[in-house]
Chain A
Amino acid sequence: MFTRRKPEIAEQELARIPGAENYSRIDVWWWLVALVVGVVILLSVISPDPYWRIILFVRDGLGITVFLTVVAFVFILILGMLGGLGRLSKNWFVHGIATLYVELVRGVPLLVQLIWWYFAFPVVIQQIGKWLHISILANYQSNAIVLAIFGLVFCYGAYMSEIYRAGIQSIPKGQMEAARSLGMSYVQAMRHIILPQAIRVILPPVGNEFISLLKDSSLVSVVAVADMTRRGREFMSTHFNPIEVWTMIALLYLVLTLFSARIVSWLERKTEFER
Protein backbone atom coordinates (compact mmCIF):
# COMPACT_ATOMS: atom_id res chain seq x y z
CA MET A 1 0.00 0.00 0.00
CA PHE A 2 2.72 2.41 0.96
CA THR A 3 4.79 1.97 -2.16
CA ARG A 4 1.77 2.77 -4.30
CA ARG A 5 1.70 6.30 -2.92
CA LYS A 6 5.25 7.09 -3.86
CA PRO A 7 4.60 8.28 -7.43
CA GLU A 8 1.90 10.57 -6.08
CA ILE A 9 4.32 12.22 -3.69
CA ALA A 10 6.77 12.67 -6.51
CA GLU A 11 4.12 14.41 -8.58
CA GLN A 12 3.33 16.80 -5.77
CA GLU A 13 6.96 17.73 -5.52
CA LEU A 14 7.05 18.39 -9.26
CA ALA A 15 3.98 20.58 -9.01
CA ARG A 16 5.75 22.77 -6.48
CA ILE A 17 8.56 23.76 -8.81
CA PRO A 18 8.26 27.57 -8.83
CA GLY A 19 6.38 28.82 -11.88
CA ALA A 20 4.57 25.57 -12.64
CA GLU A 21 1.59 26.52 -10.46
CA ASN A 22 1.02 29.65 -12.51
CA TYR A 23 0.40 27.59 -15.63
CA SER A 24 -2.10 25.34 -13.94
CA ARG A 25 -4.00 28.26 -12.41
CA ILE A 26 -5.13 29.61 -15.76
CA ASP A 27 -7.93 27.30 -16.77
CA VAL A 28 -8.39 27.82 -20.52
CA TRP A 29 -11.56 25.73 -20.55
CA TRP A 30 -13.43 28.66 -19.03
CA TRP A 31 -13.30 30.09 -22.58
CA LEU A 32 -15.48 27.20 -23.75
CA VAL A 33 -18.10 28.08 -21.14
CA ALA A 34 -17.95 31.70 -22.30
CA LEU A 35 -18.23 30.62 -25.93
CA VAL A 36 -21.39 28.57 -25.37
CA VAL A 37 -22.95 31.32 -23.23
CA GLY A 38 -22.02 33.72 -26.05
CA VAL A 39 -23.83 31.57 -28.64
CA VAL A 40 -26.95 31.46 -26.44
CA ILE A 41 -26.93 35.24 -26.05
CA LEU A 42 -26.16 35.80 -29.73
CA LEU A 43 -29.06 33.60 -30.86
CA SER A 44 -31.42 35.33 -28.42
CA VAL A 45 -30.41 38.79 -29.65
CA ILE A 46 -30.32 38.05 -33.38
CA SER A 47 -33.53 36.10 -33.44
CA PRO A 48 -35.55 36.59 -30.22
CA ASP A 49 -38.42 34.75 -31.86
CA PRO A 50 -38.16 31.82 -31.27
CA TYR A 51 -34.92 31.63 -29.26
CA TRP A 52 -35.62 34.19 -26.54
CA ARG A 53 -39.20 32.95 -26.30
CA ILE A 54 -37.92 29.40 -25.84
CA ILE A 55 -35.64 30.54 -22.99
CA LEU A 56 -38.50 32.38 -21.29
CA PHE A 57 -40.74 29.36 -21.71
CA VAL A 58 -38.31 26.74 -20.35
CA ARG A 59 -36.90 29.06 -17.64
CA ASP A 60 -38.92 27.46 -14.82
CA GLY A 61 -37.95 23.99 -16.15
CA LEU A 62 -34.30 25.00 -15.98
CA GLY A 63 -34.86 25.96 -12.35
CA ILE A 64 -36.40 22.56 -11.66
CA THR A 65 -33.55 20.74 -13.40
CA VAL A 66 -30.98 22.56 -11.25
CA PHE A 67 -33.08 22.09 -8.09
CA LEU A 68 -33.57 18.36 -8.74
CA THR A 69 -29.90 17.82 -9.44
CA VAL A 70 -28.58 19.75 -6.44
CA VAL A 71 -31.06 18.33 -3.92
CA ALA A 72 -30.66 14.77 -5.22
CA PHE A 73 -26.88 15.10 -5.18
CA VAL A 74 -26.77 16.10 -1.51
CA PHE A 75 -28.70 12.94 -0.62
CA ILE A 76 -26.60 10.88 -3.05
CA LEU A 77 -23.44 11.98 -1.24
CA ILE A 78 -24.91 10.87 2.09
CA LEU A 79 -26.37 7.58 0.79
CA GLY A 80 -23.15 6.84 -1.11
CA MET A 81 -21.09 7.31 2.04
CA LEU A 82 -23.35 4.95 4.00
CA GLY A 83 -23.32 2.45 1.13
CA GLY A 84 -19.55 2.64 0.76
CA LEU A 85 -18.98 2.14 4.49
CA GLY A 86 -21.49 -0.70 4.41
CA ARG A 87 -19.59 -2.37 1.57
CA LEU A 88 -16.44 -2.21 3.72
CA SER A 89 -18.16 -3.36 6.91
CA LYS A 90 -16.91 -6.51 8.60
CA ASN A 91 -20.46 -7.15 9.81
CA TRP A 92 -21.77 -9.69 7.30
CA PHE A 93 -25.35 -8.41 7.53
CA VAL A 94 -24.46 -4.77 6.85
CA HIS A 95 -22.03 -5.82 4.13
CA GLY A 96 -24.67 -8.10 2.60
CA ILE A 97 -27.38 -5.42 2.52
CA ALA A 98 -25.01 -2.84 1.00
CA THR A 99 -23.73 -5.27 -1.63
CA LEU A 100 -27.23 -6.45 -2.53
CA TYR A 101 -28.35 -2.83 -2.93
CA VAL A 102 -25.42 -1.92 -5.18
CA GLU A 103 -25.71 -5.05 -7.33
CA LEU A 104 -29.48 -4.83 -7.80
CA VAL A 105 -29.65 -1.12 -8.53
CA ARG A 106 -26.77 -1.19 -10.99
CA GLY A 107 -28.53 -3.89 -12.98
CA VAL A 108 -31.73 -1.93 -13.75
CA PRO A 109 -31.85 1.02 -16.20
CA LEU A 110 -32.39 4.39 -14.53
CA LEU A 111 -35.39 5.13 -16.75
CA VAL A 112 -37.10 1.91 -15.66
CA GLN A 113 -36.32 2.70 -12.01
CA LEU A 114 -37.81 6.20 -12.29
CA ILE A 115 -40.95 4.80 -13.91
CA TRP A 116 -41.21 2.15 -11.21
CA TRP A 117 -40.96 4.68 -8.36
CA TYR A 118 -43.54 6.97 -9.96
CA PHE A 119 -46.12 4.44 -11.18
CA ALA A 120 -45.62 1.27 -9.15
CA PHE A 121 -44.35 2.46 -5.75
CA PRO A 122 -47.46 4.53 -4.82
CA VAL A 123 -49.70 1.57 -5.60
CA VAL A 124 -47.55 -0.68 -3.44
CA ILE A 125 -47.84 1.79 -0.56
CA GLN A 126 -51.63 2.08 -1.03
CA GLN A 127 -52.03 -1.70 -1.07
CA ILE A 128 -50.00 -2.08 2.10
CA GLY A 129 -52.10 0.68 3.69
CA LYS A 130 -55.32 -1.09 2.80
CA TRP A 131 -53.99 -4.40 4.02
CA LEU A 132 -52.84 -3.01 7.38
CA HIS A 133 -55.77 -0.54 7.66
CA ILE A 134 -53.50 2.48 7.92
CA SER A 135 -55.44 5.30 6.25
CA ILE A 136 -52.40 7.59 5.74
CA LEU A 137 -50.75 4.93 3.59
CA ALA A 138 -53.98 3.83 1.88
CA ASN A 139 -54.67 7.40 0.75
CA TYR A 140 -51.04 8.05 -0.24
CA GLN A 141 -50.86 10.53 -3.10
CA SER A 142 -47.65 10.48 -5.10
CA ASN A 143 -45.65 13.66 -5.54
CA ALA A 144 -43.82 13.60 -8.86
CA ILE A 145 -40.82 15.69 -7.78
CA VAL A 146 -40.33 13.83 -4.49
CA LEU A 147 -40.46 10.44 -6.22
CA ALA A 148 -38.20 11.65 -9.02
CA ILE A 149 -35.60 12.80 -6.48
CA PHE A 150 -36.06 9.52 -4.64
CA GLY A 151 -35.48 7.52 -7.83
CA LEU A 152 -32.37 9.49 -8.78
CA VAL A 153 -30.93 9.21 -5.26
CA PHE A 154 -31.63 5.49 -5.05
CA CYS A 155 -29.94 4.76 -8.37
CA TYR A 156 -26.99 7.15 -8.14
CA GLY A 157 -26.42 6.24 -4.50
CA ALA A 158 -25.38 2.76 -5.63
CA TYR A 159 -22.76 4.09 -8.03
CA MET A 160 -21.60 6.60 -5.42
CA SER A 161 -21.22 3.77 -2.88
CA GLU A 162 -18.66 2.13 -5.12
CA ILE A 163 -16.79 5.42 -5.55
CA TYR A 164 -16.63 5.94 -1.78
CA ARG A 165 -15.54 2.33 -1.27
CA ALA A 166 -12.72 2.65 -3.78
CA GLY A 167 -11.67 6.00 -2.29
CA ILE A 168 -11.57 4.68 1.25
CA GLN A 169 -9.68 1.57 0.14
CA SER A 170 -7.08 3.73 -1.61
CA ILE A 171 -5.99 5.20 1.75
CA PRO A 172 -3.09 3.14 3.17
CA LYS A 173 -4.09 0.78 6.00
CA GLY A 174 -1.47 2.38 8.23
CA GLN A 175 -3.53 5.56 8.50
CA MET A 176 -6.36 3.69 10.19
CA GLU A 177 -3.92 1.73 12.35
CA ALA A 178 -2.18 4.89 13.50
CA ALA A 179 -5.51 6.52 14.35
CA ARG A 180 -6.73 3.47 16.26
CA SER A 181 -3.45 3.07 18.11
CA LEU A 182 -3.82 6.66 19.33
CA GLY A 183 -7.10 5.62 20.93
CA MET A 184 -9.57 6.92 18.34
CA SER A 185 -12.71 4.89 17.77
CA TYR A 186 -13.51 3.55 14.30
CA VAL A 187 -16.00 6.37 13.73
CA GLN A 188 -13.55 9.05 14.91
CA ALA A 189 -10.80 7.63 12.71
CA MET A 190 -13.14 7.55 9.69
CA ARG A 191 -14.31 11.09 10.28
CA HIS A 192 -11.00 12.77 11.07
CA ILE A 193 -8.45 10.68 9.19
CA ILE A 194 -9.82 8.44 6.44
CA LEU A 195 -12.73 10.37 4.91
CA PRO A 196 -10.92 13.73 4.62
CA GLN A 197 -8.21 11.97 2.62
CA ALA A 198 -10.61 9.77 0.66
CA ILE A 199 -12.70 12.77 -0.39
CA ARG A 200 -9.71 14.30 -2.16
CA VAL A 201 -9.15 11.05 -4.00
CA ILE A 202 -12.77 10.68 -5.07
CA LEU A 203 -13.40 14.29 -6.01
CA PRO A 204 -12.86 13.76 -9.78
CA PRO A 205 -15.24 10.75 -10.06
CA VAL A 206 -17.74 12.49 -7.76
CA GLY A 207 -17.63 15.51 -10.06
CA ASN A 208 -18.30 13.22 -13.02
CA GLU A 209 -21.30 11.79 -11.20
CA PHE A 210 -22.67 15.28 -10.64
CA ILE A 211 -22.43 16.09 -14.35
CA SER A 212 -23.94 12.72 -15.29
CA LEU A 213 -26.79 13.36 -12.87
CA LEU A 214 -27.41 16.77 -14.39
CA LYS A 215 -27.84 15.12 -17.78
CA ASP A 216 -29.73 12.05 -16.54
CA SER A 217 -32.17 14.30 -14.67
CA SER A 218 -33.75 14.88 -18.11
CA LEU A 219 -35.21 11.37 -17.76
CA VAL A 220 -37.60 12.62 -15.08
CA SER A 221 -39.49 14.38 -17.88
CA VAL A 222 -41.29 11.07 -18.51
CA VAL A 223 -42.66 10.93 -14.95
CA ALA A 224 -44.61 14.19 -14.89
CA VAL A 225 -41.84 16.48 -13.67
CA ALA A 226 -41.77 19.77 -15.58
CA ASP A 227 -38.01 19.93 -15.96
CA MET A 228 -36.20 21.66 -18.80
CA THR A 229 -36.59 18.73 -21.21
CA ARG A 230 -40.30 18.40 -20.57
CA ARG A 231 -40.83 22.16 -20.98
CA GLY A 232 -38.97 21.93 -24.28
CA ARG A 233 -41.32 19.22 -25.46
CA GLU A 234 -44.31 21.30 -24.40
CA PHE A 235 -43.01 24.29 -26.35
CA MET A 236 -42.42 22.16 -29.42
CA SER A 237 -45.90 20.63 -29.30
CA THR A 238 -47.46 24.08 -29.73
CA HIS A 239 -44.92 25.70 -32.06
CA PHE A 240 -43.66 22.78 -34.17
CA ASN A 241 -40.06 23.99 -34.47
CA PRO A 242 -37.89 21.04 -33.35
CA ILE A 243 -34.57 22.41 -34.63
CA GLU A 244 -34.73 25.66 -32.67
CA VAL A 245 -36.17 24.13 -29.49
CA TRP A 246 -33.81 21.19 -29.17
CA THR A 247 -30.77 23.21 -30.22
CA MET A 248 -31.52 25.71 -27.48
CA ILE A 249 -32.25 22.99 -24.91
CA ALA A 250 -28.97 21.27 -25.82
CA LEU A 251 -27.08 24.57 -25.49
CA LEU A 252 -28.64 25.27 -22.08
CA TYR A 253 -27.62 21.79 -20.83
CA LEU A 254 -24.14 22.44 -22.18
CA VAL A 255 -23.89 25.72 -20.25
CA LEU A 256 -24.83 23.86 -17.05
CA THR A 257 -22.52 20.89 -17.56
CA LEU A 258 -19.50 22.86 -18.78
CA PHE A 259 -19.89 25.31 -15.90
CA SER A 260 -20.14 22.41 -13.41
CA ALA A 261 -17.03 20.82 -14.90
CA ARG A 262 -15.09 24.04 -14.29
CA ILE A 263 -16.29 24.22 -10.69
CA VAL A 264 -15.23 20.60 -10.10
CA SER A 265 -11.85 21.22 -11.65
CA TRP A 266 -11.39 24.36 -9.51
CA LEU A 267 -12.27 22.37 -6.37
CA GLU A 268 -9.77 19.68 -7.34
CA ARG A 269 -6.97 22.18 -7.67
CA LYS A 270 -7.93 23.92 -4.48
CA THR A 271 -7.70 20.74 -2.42
CA GLU A 272 -4.50 19.75 -4.23
CA PHE A 273 -2.74 22.91 -3.04
CA GLU A 274 -3.73 22.35 0.55
CA ARG A 275 -1.63 19.22 0.78
Chain B
Amino acid sequence: MSSSELMIHISDVHKRFGRVHALRGVSLDVQKGEVLVIVGPSGSGKSTLLRCINRLEEYETGKIVVDGIHLDSAENINAVRREVGMVFQSFNLFAHLTVLDNLILSQRVVRKRSRNEAKDIAMSLLKKVGIPEKTNAYPSQISGGQQQRVAIARALAMNPKIMLFDEPTSALDPEMIKEVLDVMLTLAKEGMTMVVVSHEMGFARAAARNVIFMDEGQIIEEAPPEELFTSPRHERTKLFLSKVLSL
Protein backbone atom coordinates (compact mmCIF):
# COMPACT_ATOMS: atom_id res chain seq x y z
CA MET B 1 0.00 0.00 0.00
CA SER B 2 3.01 2.27 -0.09
CA SER B 3 2.50 3.16 -3.74
CA SER B 4 2.32 6.92 -3.93
CA GLU B 5 -0.77 7.18 -6.11
CA LEU B 6 -2.51 10.50 -5.56
CA MET B 7 -6.18 10.02 -4.63
CA ILE B 8 -7.19 13.52 -3.56
CA HIS B 9 -5.51 16.70 -4.67
CA ILE B 10 -6.77 19.98 -3.24
CA SER B 11 -5.11 23.24 -4.11
CA ASP B 12 -5.87 26.74 -2.88
CA VAL B 13 -9.60 26.23 -2.26
CA HIS B 14 -11.63 29.19 -1.06
CA LYS B 15 -15.22 29.00 0.17
CA ARG B 16 -17.50 31.71 1.54
CA PHE B 17 -20.86 31.44 3.28
CA GLY B 18 -22.11 34.96 2.70
CA ARG B 19 -19.67 37.07 4.72
CA VAL B 20 -18.03 34.15 6.46
CA HIS B 21 -14.80 33.10 4.79
CA ALA B 22 -15.02 29.40 5.66
CA LEU B 23 -12.02 28.11 3.69
CA ARG B 24 -9.05 30.38 3.06
CA GLY B 25 -6.76 28.79 0.54
CA VAL B 26 -6.64 25.17 1.66
CA SER B 27 -4.23 22.82 -0.13
CA LEU B 28 -3.59 19.19 0.66
CA ASP B 29 -2.86 15.83 -0.96
CA VAL B 30 -4.03 12.40 0.10
CA GLN B 31 -2.24 9.32 -1.22
CA LYS B 32 -3.86 6.02 -1.97
CA GLY B 33 -4.34 3.96 1.20
CA GLU B 34 -3.63 6.93 3.44
CA VAL B 35 -5.76 7.72 6.46
CA LEU B 36 -5.90 11.43 7.16
CA VAL B 37 -7.51 12.80 10.31
CA ILE B 38 -8.60 16.42 10.52
CA VAL B 39 -9.04 18.11 13.90
CA GLY B 40 -9.88 21.65 14.82
CA PRO B 41 -12.30 23.80 16.77
CA SER B 42 -15.93 24.09 15.73
CA GLY B 43 -16.30 26.52 12.83
CA SER B 44 -12.74 25.93 11.67
CA GLY B 45 -13.94 24.72 8.26
CA LYS B 46 -12.98 21.07 8.65
CA SER B 47 -16.44 19.70 7.82
CA THR B 48 -16.79 22.19 4.98
CA LEU B 49 -13.50 21.00 3.52
CA LEU B 50 -14.64 17.38 3.73
CA ARG B 51 -17.96 18.22 2.07
CA CYS B 52 -16.13 20.01 -0.74
CA ILE B 53 -14.39 16.75 -1.66
CA ASN B 54 -17.65 15.22 -2.91
CA ARG B 55 -19.11 18.58 -3.78
CA LEU B 56 -21.88 18.64 -1.18
CA GLU B 57 -20.55 22.18 -0.81
CA GLU B 58 -19.54 24.32 -3.71
CA TYR B 59 -16.34 26.32 -3.54
CA GLU B 60 -15.50 29.58 -5.27
CA THR B 61 -11.89 29.25 -6.33
CA GLY B 62 -9.25 26.56 -6.28
CA LYS B 63 -9.05 23.04 -7.62
CA ILE B 64 -10.06 19.64 -6.31
CA VAL B 65 -9.15 16.48 -8.21
CA VAL B 66 -10.38 13.15 -6.90
CA ASP B 67 -8.93 9.96 -8.38
CA GLY B 68 -7.90 11.90 -11.46
CA ILE B 69 -11.38 13.41 -11.95
CA HIS B 70 -11.56 17.19 -11.85
CA LEU B 71 -14.60 18.41 -9.87
CA ASP B 72 -15.97 20.84 -12.42
CA SER B 73 -18.91 19.54 -14.44
CA ALA B 74 -22.13 17.98 -13.16
CA GLU B 75 -21.11 14.76 -14.90
CA ASN B 76 -17.78 14.68 -13.12
CA ILE B 77 -19.39 15.46 -9.80
CA ASN B 78 -21.63 12.41 -10.10
CA ALA B 79 -18.64 10.33 -11.21
CA VAL B 80 -16.70 11.44 -8.14
CA ARG B 81 -19.64 10.78 -5.85
CA ARG B 82 -19.80 7.22 -7.13
CA GLU B 83 -16.18 6.71 -6.07
CA VAL B 84 -16.40 8.49 -2.74
CA GLY B 85 -18.38 7.16 0.22
CA MET B 86 -19.52 9.54 2.93
CA VAL B 87 -20.50 8.92 6.54
CA PHE B 88 -22.34 11.67 8.41
CA GLN B 89 -22.48 12.76 12.03
CA SER B 90 -26.26 12.17 12.11
CA PHE B 91 -26.08 8.84 10.18
CA ASN B 92 -28.73 9.95 7.65
CA LEU B 93 -30.06 6.46 7.05
CA PHE B 94 -33.13 6.51 4.82
CA ALA B 95 -35.89 6.56 7.43
CA HIS B 96 -38.55 4.89 5.27
CA LEU B 97 -36.41 1.90 4.32
CA THR B 98 -35.29 -1.14 6.28
CA VAL B 99 -31.60 -1.65 7.04
CA LEU B 100 -31.31 -4.07 4.13
CA ASP B 101 -33.11 -1.76 1.68
CA ASN B 102 -30.91 1.13 2.79
CA LEU B 103 -27.99 -0.89 1.44
CA ILE B 104 -29.77 -2.22 -1.64
CA LEU B 105 -31.45 0.89 -3.06
CA SER B 106 -28.42 2.89 -4.19
CA GLN B 107 -26.75 -0.23 -5.60
CA ARG B 108 -29.85 -0.80 -7.75
CA VAL B 109 -30.36 2.83 -8.74
CA VAL B 110 -26.76 3.95 -9.25
CA ARG B 111 -24.78 0.77 -9.92
CA LYS B 112 -27.70 -0.95 -11.73
CA ARG B 113 -27.09 -4.21 -9.91
CA SER B 114 -29.74 -6.92 -9.82
CA ARG B 115 -31.68 -7.27 -6.59
CA ASN B 116 -30.05 -10.59 -5.76
CA GLU B 117 -26.53 -9.33 -6.39
CA ALA B 118 -27.20 -6.19 -4.35
CA LYS B 119 -28.69 -8.25 -1.55
CA ASP B 120 -25.67 -10.59 -1.40
CA ILE B 121 -23.31 -7.63 -1.22
CA ALA B 122 -25.50 -5.98 1.43
CA MET B 123 -25.63 -9.11 3.60
CA SER B 124 -21.87 -9.66 3.49
CA LEU B 125 -21.25 -6.00 4.41
CA LEU B 126 -23.74 -6.12 7.26
CA LYS B 127 -21.90 -9.19 8.54
CA LYS B 128 -18.65 -7.26 8.24
CA VAL B 129 -19.92 -4.33 10.34
CA GLY B 130 -21.40 -6.77 12.84
CA ILE B 131 -25.17 -6.45 12.33
CA PRO B 132 -26.33 -9.37 10.21
CA GLU B 133 -29.45 -9.94 12.32
CA LYS B 134 -31.15 -6.53 12.13
CA THR B 135 -31.67 -6.48 8.37
CA ASN B 136 -35.43 -5.98 8.51
CA ALA B 137 -35.42 -3.32 11.24
CA TYR B 138 -36.10 0.31 10.42
CA PRO B 139 -33.40 2.87 11.32
CA SER B 140 -35.48 4.26 14.21
CA GLN B 141 -35.58 0.81 15.79
CA ILE B 142 -31.83 0.34 16.19
CA SER B 143 -29.24 2.13 18.32
CA GLY B 144 -27.12 5.04 17.14
CA GLY B 145 -24.02 2.89 17.00
CA GLN B 146 -25.81 0.31 14.89
CA GLN B 147 -27.21 3.04 12.62
CA GLN B 148 -23.74 4.44 12.04
CA ARG B 149 -22.35 0.99 11.23
CA VAL B 150 -25.20 0.47 8.75
CA ALA B 151 -24.38 3.89 7.25
CA ILE B 152 -20.77 2.78 6.78
CA ALA B 153 -21.93 -0.46 5.17
CA ARG B 154 -24.29 1.50 2.90
CA ALA B 155 -21.39 3.63 1.66
CA LEU B 156 -19.15 0.56 1.22
CA ALA B 157 -21.81 -1.17 -0.89
CA MET B 158 -20.99 1.27 -3.66
CA ASN B 159 -17.36 0.02 -3.72
CA PRO B 160 -15.88 3.45 -3.03
CA LYS B 161 -12.17 4.12 -3.48
CA ILE B 162 -12.27 6.81 -0.81
CA MET B 163 -14.29 7.11 2.41
CA LEU B 164 -15.06 10.44 4.05
CA PHE B 165 -16.14 10.52 7.69
CA ASP B 166 -17.72 13.69 9.07
CA GLU B 167 -17.56 13.44 12.87
CA PRO B 168 -18.87 9.87 12.76
CA THR B 169 -18.90 9.37 16.53
CA SER B 170 -19.94 12.83 17.76
CA ALA B 171 -23.65 11.97 18.00
CA LEU B 172 -23.06 8.65 19.77
CA ASP B 173 -23.26 7.62 23.40
CA PRO B 174 -19.81 6.78 24.79
CA GLU B 175 -20.39 3.03 24.90
CA MET B 176 -21.25 2.96 21.19
CA ILE B 177 -18.23 4.91 19.98
CA LYS B 178 -15.92 1.91 20.13
CA GLU B 179 -18.06 -0.32 17.91
CA VAL B 180 -18.00 2.33 15.18
CA LEU B 181 -14.27 3.06 15.56
CA ASP B 182 -13.52 -0.68 15.36
CA VAL B 183 -15.22 -0.86 11.97
CA MET B 184 -13.26 2.19 10.82
CA LEU B 185 -9.99 0.66 12.05
CA THR B 186 -10.70 -2.51 10.10
CA LEU B 187 -11.27 -0.44 6.97
CA ALA B 188 -8.03 1.46 7.52
CA LYS B 189 -6.11 -1.81 7.91
CA GLU B 190 -7.58 -3.05 4.65
CA GLY B 191 -5.99 -0.09 2.91
CA MET B 192 -9.01 2.14 2.34
CA THR B 193 -8.16 5.76 1.63
CA MET B 194 -9.91 7.70 4.38
CA VAL B 195 -10.36 11.33 5.36
CA VAL B 196 -11.78 11.56 8.85
CA VAL B 197 -12.98 14.65 10.68
CA SER B 198 -12.92 13.52 14.29
CA HIS B 199 -11.43 14.25 17.67
CA GLU B 200 -10.92 10.59 18.49
CA MET B 201 -7.22 10.75 19.33
CA GLY B 202 -7.06 7.00 19.87
CA PHE B 203 -8.26 6.33 16.36
CA ALA B 204 -5.87 8.91 14.92
CA ARG B 205 -2.93 7.34 16.76
CA ALA B 206 -3.86 3.83 15.65
CA ALA B 207 -4.75 4.48 12.03
CA ALA B 208 -3.70 7.86 10.72
CA ARG B 209 -0.49 8.58 8.88
CA ASN B 210 -0.98 12.30 9.30
CA VAL B 211 -3.20 14.58 11.35
CA ILE B 212 -4.17 18.03 10.16
CA PHE B 213 -5.06 20.83 12.54
CA MET B 214 -7.38 23.43 11.02
CA ASP B 215 -8.41 26.79 12.42
CA GLU B 216 -10.28 29.70 10.85
CA GLY B 217 -10.44 28.09 7.44
CA GLN B 218 -6.75 27.31 7.15
CA ILE B 219 -4.50 24.32 7.67
CA ILE B 220 -2.27 25.37 10.56
CA GLU B 221 -0.22 22.26 10.97
CA GLU B 222 0.16 18.77 9.51
CA ALA B 223 2.16 16.07 11.23
CA PRO B 224 2.09 12.39 12.20
CA PRO B 225 -0.40 11.90 15.08
CA GLU B 226 2.15 11.24 17.83
CA GLU B 227 4.10 14.34 16.89
CA LEU B 228 1.09 16.61 16.56
CA PHE B 229 -0.52 15.49 19.80
CA THR B 230 2.61 15.52 21.98
CA SER B 231 4.74 18.30 20.55
CA PRO B 232 2.70 20.67 18.40
CA ARG B 233 4.64 23.45 16.80
CA HIS B 234 2.01 26.16 16.70
CA GLU B 235 0.48 28.09 19.59
CA ARG B 236 -3.06 27.65 18.27
CA THR B 237 -2.59 23.87 18.03
CA LYS B 238 -1.31 23.77 21.61
CA LEU B 239 -4.23 25.85 22.85
CA PHE B 240 -6.76 23.65 21.05
CA LEU B 241 -5.17 20.38 22.20
CA SER B 242 -5.03 21.58 25.79
CA LYS B 243 -8.78 22.21 25.68
CA VAL B 244 -9.61 18.88 24.04
CA LEU B 245 -7.24 16.77 26.12
CA SER B 246 -8.33 18.27 29.43
CA LEU B 247 -11.86 16.99 28.92
Q: Is the CB of A181 within 8 A of B54?
A: yes
- Cα A275 to Cα B148 in complex, Å, equals 19
- Contacts A9-B140, A192-B105, A192-B109 hold; do A181 and B56 have CB atoms under 8 A apart? yes
**Does A141 interact with chain B (Cβ within 8 Å)?**
no
**Does A40 interact with chain B (Cβ within 8 Å)?**
no
Counting chain A residues whose Cβ lies within 8 A of the other chain, the interface size class is: 20 to 34
Q: Is the CB of B140 within 8 A of A178?
A: no
Q: Is the CB of B140 within 8 A of A184?
A: no
- Cα A5 to Cα B91 in complex, Å, equals 14
| In the complex, chain A residues whose CB is within 8 Å of the CB of B95 | 5, 175, 197, 275
**Does A88 interact with chain B (Cβ within 8 Å)?**
no
> For window 154-189 of chain A, which residues contact chain B by CB distance below 8 Å?
172, 174-175, 177-185, 188
**Does A12 interact with chain B (Cβ within 8 Å)?**
yes
Q: Is the CB of B92 within 8 A of A183?
A: no
Q: Is the CB of A182 within 8 A of B154?
A: yes
Q: Is the CB of A182 within 8 A of B158?
A: yes
How many A-B contacts at CB < 8 Å in the complex?
68
Q: How far is the CB of A195 from chain B (nearest CB, A)?
A: 10
Chain B contact residue count (CB 8 A cutoff): 25
Binds A, one of B80-88, B220-228, B239-247: B80-88
**Does B96 interact with chain A (Cβ within 8 Å)?**
yes
Q: Is the CB of B110 within 8 A of A177?
A: no
- Cα A188 to Cα B93 in complex, Å, equals 16
- Cα A196 to Cα B109 in complex, Å, equals 15
| In the complex, chain A residues whose CB is within 8 Å of the CB of B81 | 180-183
Q: Is the CB of B96 within 8 A of A183?
A: no
Interface of A is mostly: helix
| In the complex, chain A residues whose CB is within 8 Å of the CB of B114 | none
- Cα A180 to Cα B56 in complex, Å, equals 8
**Does B229 interact with chain A (Cβ within 8 Å)?**
no
Q: Which single residue of chain A is at the shortest CB-CB distance from B81?
A: A183
Interface string of A67-79 (1 = CB under 8 A from B): 0000000000000
**Does B90 interact with chain A (Cβ within 8 Å)?**
yes
**Does A2 interact with chain B (Cβ within 8 Å)?**
yes
**Does B203 interact with chain A (Cβ within 8 Å)?**
no
- Cα A274 to Cα B81 in complex, Å, equals 31
> For window 43-94 of chain B, which residues contact chain A by CB distance below 8 Å?
54, 56, 78, 81-82, 84-86, 88, 90, 92-94
Chain A contact residues, CB within 8 Å of chain B: 2, 5, 9, 12-13, 172, 174-175, 177-185, 188, 192-193, 196-197, 200, 274-275
